Chains A and B, each alone.
Chain A
Amino acid sequence: MPRFLLVHQVVAMPSTQDEWIRDWSGIRQRSQGEARWLASWYSAETNRLYCEWESPSREAIAACFTAAEREMAPIISLEEVAHMDPAWLDPVP
């Protein structure tokens, strides 16, 4: 399954813990089908959210976000990526 790296520019933050959990839970529920949300990293330096997804297509990922969520954190790039693990370089016991 292809993997993708999404970069969101966060323009609006949830104001309460409940709002944060509700928003993220919604995306989590919508990403249990073809497209799967695997992990996220947030950079406070740039206010960007970097998210790893597994999906058969870019469209399936885009469909996981509501219009309001796309306004809060617009996707500024969506790139197919290849996973590489530095541990592959370690000697096999």
Chain B
Amino acid sequence: MAYAFPSAGWVDALVAILNSDTRYAQVARGWEGDIVFAVGPDGPAAEGDASDRIYLDLWHGECRKGSFHPAGGEAAPEAVFTLSATRANLLRILSGDLDPMQAMLTRKLQVRGNMGYMLRNVPVVLDFVRCCRRVEIAP
């Protein structure tokens, strides 16, 4: 089934994949840290924060909670990491067109949080992206 991105359906599908993917469970067994993805609008920056947010509580190879917070709605919880990008750039990462490490090094994906922890856990980051790519996105 294909889901709009970002949407509650996409988040639920990702949570189900993260909690059933044996490789992710193994690779991310040491990961501790929740993440908010801020999905910004494409084009010129809008006034205020017009980003939709995805909250994922990632803990030792599991996703304990996932939720979708549309712009202007209920705020997402504060997280250890906030990763921000335009929807277009996130879709490029999800389609495999943009390497996630390249996106971070070029600020197409902005990281707020401990960069050292993120870099030391590069295999977790890459496997997380692999799981995200398993969720089919509606055109």
Contacts and interface: CB of A to CB of B under 8 A. Distances in A.
Q: Is the interface of B mostly helix, strand, loop or mixed?
A: helix
A13 B115 contact: yes
B43 interface: no
Interface of B: 104-105, 107, 110-112, 114-117, 119-123
Contact of B123 (A20, A24, A44): A44
Interface residues of A, number: 13
7 contacts: A14-B119, A15-B114, A17-B110, A21-B105, A21-B107, A24-B105, A44-B120
B107 A17 contact: yes
Contacts of B123: 44
Interface of A: 12-17, 19-21, 24, 42, 44, 47
Given A13-B119, A13-B120, A20-B119, 4 more contacts: A15-B116, A20-B104, A20-B115, A42-B119
B116 A17 contact: no
Contacts of A47: 120
A25 B105 CA distance: 10
